[in-house]
Structure formats: structure tokens, C-alpha cells
Chain A
């Protein structure tokens, strides 16, 4: 990388930070308990809209993992999400009525809050339908991982988005609050992912899975990106560029090994495809607040009427992280 390119990226990073600074005024605190954050706390940042039904399990899942404090941006929910969140002592909530799209799909808001509250902390950034799986997550808390990453001088940890889906119609099994959505959406595609290197930011660009297979089989280049870097030892100079797909400075994107070895990595189980999906897709299609003119939701809408079955004969049923490791979707790296 030349000095010029390096300088350009530096300017770009500053631009995103300035943008985040400007967007801070769109956020109104509902309850701010960030003064309780201890220096070694693990934090979780998320932006959400009308996800109340998912919240009980979501909070519980990450609390059990060892998250000490949740920082949530509520984007104008009308289902009482904000009030629900505000009642918990380990949650801080901001709310905004501003455009999700113009905040670059929430990235600006979270960049601002992270820069303000996450400096020096290990930070998880996920959506409410994403569940982090990392090696040994059934026996070791998240702090074991972050301690090990610290000791190994690693600043960021990659976890690919793994789309989960039920067998049969999406609306067949209703989701109840507090339920583990993976009980319903327990299937996934194990081996149809393609990836290429993004020359500018250095990250991998991964596509594939059921969404490619069913919704984008004619236009694979439009299929959504699945590469994610949700766990970062945050520094206020950092900025997410596009969702949690990539960051600046670009060294943080090097979560893969280029010399034949495997770095440790995890998976984000993506429990998007449950009965709430079609309602959500219809709503998002009207709001047009999603990436690339909501191309994803348009593609869904075309097929959702036919009630597609994402499940196929070769779908795998989720068991645990070791299964994902053996299938080659994630890796222990040298963590033993």
C-alpha cells in the first residue's frame, strides 16, 4: 500500500469520525448508565427497531456470555423496546427518530457512542438477531477469549454471519419472547461460501449461504456480505466503515491468515428467518431504509410470496461450535 493510499484511508477514517460526531445530536438518551462502566468491562453495542420480542433472549444470551454493559440505540420503535430496555440496570438506551439510512445504517450512531464510551474496552457490536459463537463458548466465558486476544496482541476478532433458517415455511412456528430462536431456525448451509479479498480495506468479502442460494442465484454479485468483525478492542480512533463488515484502520480487518494457517474466528448465528421475517420485510420495503435501496428485501419480497423453503436436503442442523469448527466455518486457531 502506497503512502498516498494510506493517507486517503486516514482521511476517510477521520471523515467517518466527524460524521459520527455530527450525528450525535440525533441521539437522545432514554437512560444513560454508562458511568457504571468499569475499566475492564465487556460492552455490547447495538442498534434496533421494533425488536422487543427478541430482547429477553438476546440480553440473557449475552449476559451469560459475560457482557457487563449494553449500549443500545433504539431507532424509533413503537413496540415499547426502549422502555423495556431502560428497566435493566446494565443497559443504557438512546433513541432517535432520524433516518437509519442517513446514519449509514446506524454505523454513525454507534461509532459515536463507541468513541465516547468504549475506548479501551473489548466491544461486541451485533444486531438483535445475531448470536456470537466463538471457540469453547460452551465452557469459557467471553473474557477468556478477550484475555487470550490481549495476550496474543490481537485487536479484532472475526465472526462470519451464518444465516439460520427453519425447515418448512418461515411462519410455521411462531417465536415466543424469551425463546432461543435457534430452536426454530436451527438449519444452515455448511459449504457454499465464496470469498475474495477487498483490495482497498484488506478485509475478506464473503457471500453465500441460503440467501445466495435461494434469493440471488441469478445475481450472485448482489448477495449480502457475510464477513463481520463484531469483537474489537475499541480505541476512539477506530471507525466502522460499513456495518460491522470492515473497519479503519485497515489492520483491524486482517482477521484471516494469508500464509496457509488459520486464525481463531467465530460465527454470528443469524436468526433472521423466523416468523417475524415476512412482516419485517414488508415494512422495510416501504421504509426503504436498507442497504442498496433495500435490494435484499426486494429480492425477498419477490420470493416470499411463493413461501420459499430455505431448507434443502443438504442443510445441516446446528449442534454446537465444535460442529461449525469441523465443517470449516470457524476455527480455534492456536487457542486450545
Chain B
């Protein structure tokens, strides 16, 4: 009793020859189907090259185009041939010319000998498995597909649309339940002959001729009718990417394949000399001394598909430039923006850095300069402090900064005097933690030595910009974590909001900090606001600031030291 190999070949005939020899030399009969597309001269050369082995035979040739019936017809013809010509074949293994046996053939024979009635065929109902690509799963079976997807794409799409519109649906014959799975199977003589010699076969064949990609469903569906013992998995390691096309193995996958516990891998790049050498010349040695770790291959290919479909969050580059709202994360990681804090507290940046360990920048978007932390002139990724370069594309400046420094929390100061191009991006970014003390921009004006008329003008302007900013932050589309306090509110009880912000940034460094940020002197600020009001400019963003409050703050210097747990 042995296993017979049915091999479907269409390109890289030299590699197919190598694989066929390998199977044959282990005593397995091989029936090869060569695609009709291969020209006669090459076909005959191929046949001649293998003529020295009498248990390699060639079956009737069909035209095999991806997604069409030809592949099933080819498998049927070759299977019939191998079953009738080699009576001692018990299992038939369907392989392709670009399959590479990873483990010694004897292992496979022993394995199958131990499971004489098991059919290895991946077979799942379409209703339960969402693995099909291109939006055609159920419809593979209910529509007709007379046109080639590769050569007649327009007709193909037209036919699909037409049938959808006029609801031209077919029924499965004899109430078959459609199943799908990998087209590389290994079936027992019993099951395979039952399928091939079924009196209803012409009905099934007639039906599946117009199914889309029948090689993934014909045997998978019919095996369910006859098999007594289906093991729903393929013995061939074959990974598919998001377009339903097989991943290809190269020389650098050698170690991975060594650690796979599959019998056969597909698909191998024809020029992967090292793989063919390792597995065909010394198959026993190739697998020796390695602990099987098949999960690793899965992970690598799953990651590749993920990279292609979802990409890396917060990365904008030459081959990833998402349309708006398709970014899967506007920025790479969480960051904090503070508005009004440096104005209200003395040396806030140093304090924040000491407390949280995060990198704390000044006003990154200030009009005259990019104030990086510690006064640096450039930062990770060689991001420059030139305000012109920054303003040339302010959004990319921010995403670059966050991408370049991923792994380290970034905090920066912002304000109504800064470049406001990034407002909407900030608002829509769930990674942004935005804390605003509204109206605090008035403090520098309050302490400035400018003409009051200038101050009034500047205050009106800043108030308008901040008000617009706050509107954006309060919009229903905002996904950032936004906290807004009026200055009056904040001055009243600064510790609680600070604590909340810090808790959210994350655990502090192990060094405990007992120091609270020191508030600037507000003496006379209430009067300053009143003066603005008297001039007809109503500053409202700072909340209700009593004219005398400045005095109170001054009179209350004893504050409990701020503790961070």
C-alpha cells in the first residue's frame, strides 16, 4: 500500500522534474498533468527527461487557467489514471509542480499507513468562514461564471452584475452543501473513486463547471458526501495573502521551513536553489535537529498580510499615504498637549518632565521657532527646528515627531499664538490628550510692557483664535481626550485637574516628587481684565475673575505640597 502523487504542472518544468524524481525515487507512483498552455516542444522534452522512470506517467492535458474548471478536469483525469494504473495506491496526494516535500517521503507513507481511512481535505462551509477574497463567497455557487477573470475582466464583472440585478440564482444539485478549502488534498482510494464513479457525476460536473474557482470547492464539497473520516486540513503548507494568491517561499525561509512539521510546502520560487538542494538532496538532514515550530510561519505571513492591509499606525511614507479617516491611527502613539499651563505656572515644563519622565517640549508650533525640549535645534529623525520647514506641512511635522519618538511620551505646549493648522487633526486623534486652561494667554500680556492699545488688540485676536480652537475641540467629531478649564476654575483648585492629567500620562518615575508647580503671581490680574472690559474688549474665556482675586491668591501662600503616588 502506498501513496500516489498527482502533480499539476504549468511552469518551471525543471523544478517539477526534480520533485517528480524525488517522489518516484521513494517508490511513489506519480501521474503528471501538464497544462495545455505549455507548448508541445517543451512538453515532449519534459516527458523525455522523465522517461527513465516507469512509474511516472502523464495524463490527458487540459487548459488550466486560474479560477476555471480546467484545474478540476485535470485533477480528475490524473486521479482516474493513477487509480487504475497503480492498483496498490491507497492515498492520492494532489500536489503542484512548485510543491516541495519537506519531510522524507517515507515519513508521509508511514503517517498515511497509520491512518488508512482518513481523508485529508480542508473543507469548511462557506457560511461559517469569511476567508474568501474579492466579495464572492456565497455567490461563487449561486451565480454562473462563464468568463475568465484574468483575460475577460470586463465581461466577468458584467456577467456578475447582470446576474445580481436579475436575480439569476442557481441551486445546488441534490441539495449539496457547498464547502470550500485549500485545493491541495490527500484522499483515499475509497473516497476518490466514490466521487469519480458517482452515477450523478455528470450532474455535479455540469454544475461546478460554472462555479467560480471550482478547484477550491469541487472535491471539498463532494468529499463530504462519501468520506467516512474527514480530517479538515491540508497536509500541504500553503499560505495565502489578502488577494488569495499564495505566498512564495525563498532561500531565506529555509530555517522556517525546517521547523514546519508539514509534509509538503507550496509555493516555492523556482530559483530557490538552496531550498531545493536542502530538501531534495538530503531530506532527512534538512529536518533533523530542529524543534518543529509551525506557528512561526503562520505568524510571519499573518503579519505580512496585516502590514499590507492595515499598515503601521501613524506612519506616513512613500507607500502608505492614507486618505482622510482611513489612517488606522492618525499618530503612532499617545501624546499630551498643554495650553495655558506654561503661562499659569512658573517653569511648568521642567516640573512636568521631572514628574512624569516624559519629554516635554515648549511651544512646538510657535511662530518664530520650534521650541524642542532642552533647547535642541533638531530632534529624533533629524527633524529641524526651522519654523518654515515645520509650517510647510505642520500636520506631517507632528506625525513625524510622534513617529520618530515612539516609545517615549511627548508633551508639548500649545496656544492661540501658535500655528493652528493642526487643530482638526488634534481633535480627531484618539492619541491626543489635550488639556486647556482657557484664557491663560492673557497672562503674558498682563505682564508685558506694551501699550494698552496693543494689548487690547492682541487680546482680542488671541481670544478669537482660542475660541475657534475650543469650538473644534468641542465638536462632535472629536476623538481626542479633551479637558478644558477656564482659568478662574483652574486657579480655584489646581491640584485635582493636575492629578488627573498626570494619572493619565502614566506612572511617574520611581523617584517621588513632593514639589507642586508654582503658580505665577496673579496680583492685579483681575484689575487688568477689568481694564480690558472697560476698553470694550470683553475677555470671557478665563471665566469669572473677580477684580480682587489676585489679592486672595497672593494671601494664600501655604499650600499643601503636591504628592504623586
Q: B404 contacts the other chain (Cβ, under 8 Å)? A: yes
Q: Are A147 and B269 in contact (CB under 8 A)?
A: yes
Q: B252 contacts the other chain (Cβ, under 8 Å)? A: yes
The distance in angstroms between the C-alpha atoms of A314 and B380, with both chains bound, is 6
Nearest CB of chain B from residue A227's CB, rounded to whole Å: 6
Q: Are B317 and A329 in contact (CB under 8 A)?
A: yes
Q: Which of A219, A258, A314 has the most CB of B within 10 A?
A: A314
**When A and B form their complex, what is the total count of cross-chain residue pairs whose Cβ atoms lie within 8 Å?**
176
Task: Please tell me the number of chain A residues within 8 Å of chain B, measured between CB atoms.
Answer: 58
Q: B388 contacts the other chain (Cβ, under 8 Å)? A: yes
Q: Contact check: which of B305, B393, B403 meets A194 at CB < 8 Å?
A: B393
Q: B316 contacts the other chain (Cβ, under 8 Å)? A: yes
A260 neighbours in B (Cβ, 8 Å): 309-311, 320, 322, 326-328
A204 neighbours in B (Cβ, 8 Å): 318, 321
Of B87-95, B238-246, B417-425, the one touching chain A: B238-246
- CB within 8 Å of B: which of A179-227? 189-197, 204, 206, 210, 212-213, 217-221, 227
Q: B383 contacts the other chain (Cβ, under 8 Å)? A: yes
B388 neighbours in A (Cβ, 8 Å): 217-220
Q: Give the residue name and chain of the A residue nearest to B243 (CB).
A: A152
Q: Are A265 and B318 in contact (CB under 8 A)?
A: yes
The distance in angstroms between the C-alpha atoms of A334 and B248, with both chains bound, is 11
Q: Are A196 and B381 in contact (CB under 8 A)?
A: no
B396 neighbours in A (Cβ, 8 Å): 193-195
A139-B252, A260-B326 as given contacts; A334 in contact with B319, CB under 8 Å? no
B55 neighbours in A (Cβ, 8 Å): none
- CB within 8 Å of A: which of B416-455? none
Q: Which of A158, A255, A332, A333 has the most CB of B within 10 A?
A: A333
Q: B290 contacts the other chain (Cβ, under 8 Å)? A: no
Q: Are B311 and A257 in contact (CB under 8 A)?
A: yes
Q: B261 contacts the other chain (Cβ, under 8 Å)? A: no
Q: Give the residue name and chain of the B residue nearest to A192 (CB).
A: B383
Q: Give the residue name and chain of the A residue nearest to B380 (CB).
A: A314
Q: Give the residue name and chain of the B residue nearest to A207 (CB).
A: B392
Q: Are A330 and B319 in contact (CB under 8 A)?
A: yes
Nearest CB of chain B from residue A98's CB, rounded to whole Å: 33
Q: Are B251 and A152 in contact (CB under 8 A)?
A: no
Q: Contact check: which of A193, A219, A258 meets B322 at CB < 8 Å?
A: A258
Of B296-304, B358-366, B502-510, the one touching chain A: B296-304
Nearest CB of chain B from residue A222's CB, rounded to whole Å: 11
Contact bitstring B371-413, A, C-beta under 8 A = 1, else 0? 0000010111111101011001100110010011000000000
Nearest CB of chain A from residue B274's CB, rounded to whole Å: 10
Interface size band for B: 35 or more
Q: Contact check: which of A227, A258, A261, A313 meets B318 at CB < 8 Å?
A: A227
- CB within 8 Å of A: which of B460-517? none
Q: A263 contacts the other chain (Cβ, under 8 Å)? A: yes
- CB within 8 Å of B: which of A302-320? 312-316
Nearest CB of chain B from residue A252's CB, rounded to whole Å: 14
Q: A291 contacts the other chain (Cβ, under 8 Å)? A: no
Q: Are A265 and B319 in contact (CB under 8 A)?
A: yes
The distance in angstroms between the C-alpha atoms of A261 and B317, with both chains bound, is 11
The distance in angstroms between the C-alpha atoms of A332 and B319, with both chains bound, is 10
Q: Are A190 and B311 in contact (CB under 8 A)?
A: no
A265 neighbours in B (Cβ, 8 Å): 317-319
Q: Contact check: which of B247, B327, B328, B384 meets A217 at CB < 8 Å?
A: B384
Q: B368 contacts the other chain (Cβ, under 8 Å)? A: no
The distance in angstroms between the C-alpha atoms of A195 and B269, with both chains bound, is 35
Q: A73 contacts the other chain (Cβ, under 8 Å)? A: no
Q: Are B319 and A257 in contact (CB under 8 A)?
A: yes
Q: Give the residue name and chain of the B residue nearest to A197 (CB).
A: B321
A152 neighbours in B (Cβ, 8 Å): 243, 245
The distance in angstroms between the C-alpha atoms of A335 and B303, with both chains bound, is 10
Q: Give the residue name and chain of the B residue nearest to A335 (CB).
A: B304
The distance in angstroms between the C-alpha atoms of A1 and B35, with both chains bound, is 41
The distance in angstroms between the C-alpha atoms of A147 and B252, with both chains bound, is 16
A212 neighbours in B (Cβ, 8 Å): 384, 389
The distance in angstroms between the C-alpha atoms of A258 and B251, with both chains bound, is 32
The distance in angstroms between the C-alpha atoms of A321 and B271, with both chains bound, is 22
Q: A48 contacts the other chain (Cβ, under 8 Å)? A: no
B165 neighbours in A (Cβ, 8 Å): none
Nearest CB of chain A from residue B100's CB, rounded to whole Å: 16
The distance in angstroms between the C-alpha atoms of A232 and B245, with both chains bound, is 21
- CB within 8 Å of A: which of B307-346? 307-312, 315-323, 326-328
Q: Are A192 and B384 in contact (CB under 8 A)?
A: yes
Q: B250 contacts the other chain (Cβ, under 8 Å)? A: yes
Q: Are A259 and B322 in contact (CB under 8 A)?
A: yes
Q: Contact check: which of B319, B326, B327 meets A331 at CB < 8 Å?
A: B319
Q: A264 contacts the other chain (Cβ, under 8 Å)? A: yes
Q: Are B271 and A331 in contact (CB under 8 A)?
A: no
B320 neighbours in A (Cβ, 8 Å): 256-257, 260-263, 331
A192-B381, A195-B396 as given contacts; A259 in contact with B321, CB under 8 Å? no
The distance in angstroms between the C-alpha atoms of A139 and B243, with both chains bound, is 25
A144 neighbours in B (Cβ, 8 Å): 250, 269, 271
B386 neighbours in A (Cβ, 8 Å): 213, 217-218, 220
Q: Which of B271, B310, B320, B379 has the most CB of A within 10 A?
A: B320
A258-B323, A260-B311, A334-B307 as given contacts; A136 in contact with B250, CB under 8 Å? yes
B301 neighbours in A (Cβ, 8 Å): 336
B380 neighbours in A (Cβ, 8 Å): 191, 314
Q: Are A336 and B382 in contact (CB under 8 A)?
A: no
Q: A148 contacts the other chain (Cβ, under 8 Å)? A: yes
Q: Are A196 and B251 in contact (CB under 8 A)?
A: no
Q: Are A140 and B251 in contact (CB under 8 A)?
A: yes
Q: Give the residue name and chain of the A residue nearest to B315 (CB).
A: A328
B312 neighbours in A (Cβ, 8 Å): 262, 328
- CB within 8 Å of A: which of B94-149? none
The distance in angstroms between the C-alpha atoms of A255 and B79, with both chains bound, is 43
Q: Are A210 and B382 in contact (CB under 8 A)?
A: yes
B252 neighbours in A (Cβ, 8 Å): 136, 139-140
The distance in angstroms between the C-alpha atoms of A141 and B241, with both chains bound, is 21
Q: Are B250 and A261 in contact (CB under 8 A)?
A: no
Nearest CB of chain B from residue A291's CB, rounded to whole Å: 19
Nearest CB of chain A from residue B405's CB, rounded to whole Å: 9
- CB within 8 Å of A: which of B48-91? none
B403 neighbours in A (Cβ, 8 Å): 191, 328
Q: A43 contacts the other chain (Cβ, under 8 Å)? A: no
Q: Contact check: which of A148, A192, A334 meets B382 at CB < 8 Å?
A: A192
B241 neighbours in A (Cβ, 8 Å): 334
Nearest CB of chain A from residue B109's CB, rounded to whole Å: 31
Q: A160 contacts the other chain (Cβ, under 8 Å)? A: yes
A140 neighbours in B (Cβ, 8 Å): 250-252
Nearest CB of chain B from residue A334's CB, rounded to whole Å: 3
Q: A167 contacts the other chain (Cβ, under 8 Å)? A: no
Q: A288 contacts the other chain (Cβ, under 8 Å)? A: no
Q: Are A334 and B305 in contact (CB under 8 A)?
A: yes
A334 neighbours in B (Cβ, 8 Å): 241-242, 304-305, 307-309
Q: Are A314 and B379 in contact (CB under 8 A)?
A: yes
Q: Give the residue name and chain of the A residue nearest to B394 (CB).
A: A194
Q: Which of A190, A196, A264 has the most CB of B within 10 A?
A: A190
Q: Contact check: which of A136, A256, A333 meets B321 at CB < 8 Å?
A: A256
The distance in angstroms between the C-alpha atoms of A314 and B271, with both chains bound, is 41
B392 neighbours in A (Cβ, 8 Å): 194, 220-221
Q: Are B308 and A263 in contact (CB under 8 A)?
A: yes
In the complex, the 10 A-B pairs of residues with the closest C-beta atoms, listed nearest first: A191-B381, A334-B308, A265-B319, A336-B304, A191-B404, A139-B252, A194-B393, A220-B392, A189-B382, A217-B386
Question: Besides A206-B318, A255-B319, A257-B321, 5 other CB < 8 A contacts?
Answer: A139-B251, A152-B245, A189-B381, A196-B393, A259-B326
Q: List 9 A-B contacts (CB under 8 A).
A: A191-B381, A191-B383, A194-B396, A257-B311, A258-B321, A261-B320, A262-B320, A265-B319, A312-B382
